[in-house]
Structures are given as C-alpha cells and as structure tokens.
Amino acid sequence: MPEEIKELIRDYRDGKINRREFMRRAVIFTGSLAAADALIAGLITSRAVAQVDPGDPSILWHNIEYTGKAGPVFGYLARPVAAGKYPGLVLIHANQGLNDHIRDVARRLAKQGCVTLAPDYLSRQGGTPKVNPKSEGLSNIRELAPWQNVAEDTDAGFAYLRTLTDARGDRQGLIGFCWGGEMTFSSATQVRGLKAVVVFYGRSPKPIDLVKNIEAPVLAHYGEKDPGVNQDIPSTEEAMKKYHKTYIYKVYPGAQHGFYNETTADRFHPEAAKEAWNKTLELFAKKLKG
C-alpha cells in the first residue's frame, strides 16, 4: 500500500482530518470515488485498524476466567508489562459481545497505565463465540444479560482484579460503550468502591433514582445524532443534582451513536472520538492515578 494512503488512514483514525477530507484526498490518491469508498469501507473496518497491536512489547494480555456469582466468567485482561501498581478498570463491551475492538480498547487502556479487564457478559450463556459467532449486534442482549447480572459479574470482576499484585484495589474505574455504556451507568449504582465512571452513549439507570447509590463521578459522552439515548440526559442531570452526584457530559456535534468505534466507518467520528478519549484519560488520571 502506498505510504501516502497509510498516512491518510492514520490521520483519519487519529482525528486529524474528518470524513469529508479523507474522501477528498482518497479520491486524489486512488483516482476514483468508488476506490475511495472501498478504501474507507475496507481498510478502516479491517482488523488492521487495531490501535495497539497485540504484540506491543509494553503490554501483556491474557484470556482469563474468574469466578462469578452464577459461575465462571470469561474475560480478556490487558496490563502494563512494567512492574508497578496500577489502577484497575473493568471495561463493558457493546451489544456484539467481547470482540476484537473491545480487546483493542483494553490494550489502549493498558498502554495508558491501567490493568484492564474486559469480561464476556455472555458467559452465562456459554460466551460470545457461542452466542454470537457472527459478531453482530444482539437485539435481545438485555434479555440475555440483564443489568442486574451484569452488575454482579462486574463486581466479581473487580474482586478478581483485587487478587492481582499489579492492580490497586483502592483505585478502580468502570467504562463501557453502547449497551455497555448503559450497563456501566446501571452497574455503578450497585458496585462499591468505584473512583471513576465513564459512559459512552449509554442510557441511564431505570428507575433514575438509582443514581443516588453512585459513589464516583460520572463522565458521559453522547452523539448529537442519537435521540433515543439523549432523551435521558435532562432527567439524568436533574436526578444527579438532586442526589448531589457529579455528572459531567458532552453532546458531540454531528456525531452518531457509536462514534468512538473506528471499525464502523459509517458511524465513526474521528474528532469526537479523539476528544472523548482525551477527556476519559484526563478523568482517569485525576481520579485513579492522583
């Protein structure tokens, strides 16, 4: 692949250019609109898009299994290779289950100095490969994994992290995307000891008064073109104020639901993704590493 195209893809993925500019330059480099469309659909969604290579020497990763309330929970653990004591994170996947994108996000967080556990919340049904071998969005995931079960498996995940010598039990954070964002918000009402919670375009707990139990500040990222999720924002803000909870959020202009996921080229919004990620890392640095 020509180096200028590789650089173009990197610039788009890193949020340095928007989709329009990507397409304009891609047409110049490839000579046709059809080829540019194929480039963004094929290369941006390919496995090669991983931001942190599994072979990165600065991290370690393991497929693990830990004990949950209802039985074994499968998971993916990514951690810094350097000796030390690091914050412990649980990462809740979207409605596709535990897939390569979420594993990559776990590695990104490990690169930032966090021991990150991404549980497979379909473990009670045999795991993602069994339940969702095609890695499609599961419309019935709320029935397969009710939020109460997710909260239990999340709590057990933190208990597992506390057994690791390199994970700090007093610096724990929770983050999730899409369905996982919703589950993050709901689980935060049940899991004790959290210091930071990050929700990417997830619905709020129901009933909303459950937020009175949240112990950590909540940072939420929403896409402007996501009315189904965003309708919860006013009532959430009101309830969080009522119970004196910290709720910081931003609605990103022009962004859709799923805007952080670069493997979905039709939704990925590089500028919003970059800003939301930086805000997330800032919160973790302040609340988990301070």
Please choose, from the candidates 150, 158, 236, the residue with its C-alpha nearest in 3D space to the C-alpha of residue 196.
158
- The structure tokens listed for 277 are 């990620």
Residue 156: CB partners within 8 Å, gap ≥ 6? 66, 67, 68, 69, 73
- The structure tokens listed for 135 are 């890695």
The angle formed by the CA atoms of residues 47, 49 and 52, to the nearest 5 degrees, is 100
- How many angstroms separate the CA atoms of 260 and 263, rounded? 9
Residue 52: CB partners within 8 Å, gap ≥ 6? 59, 104, 107, 108, 110, 111
Count each helix (H run) and each strand (E run) in the chain, helices first.
11, 8
Which residues are marked as active site? 178, 226, 257
Is 283 in contact with 217 (CB distance < 8 Å)?
Answer: yes
Q: What share of the chain is helix, strand, coil (3-state, %, to 5)?
A: 40, 25, 35
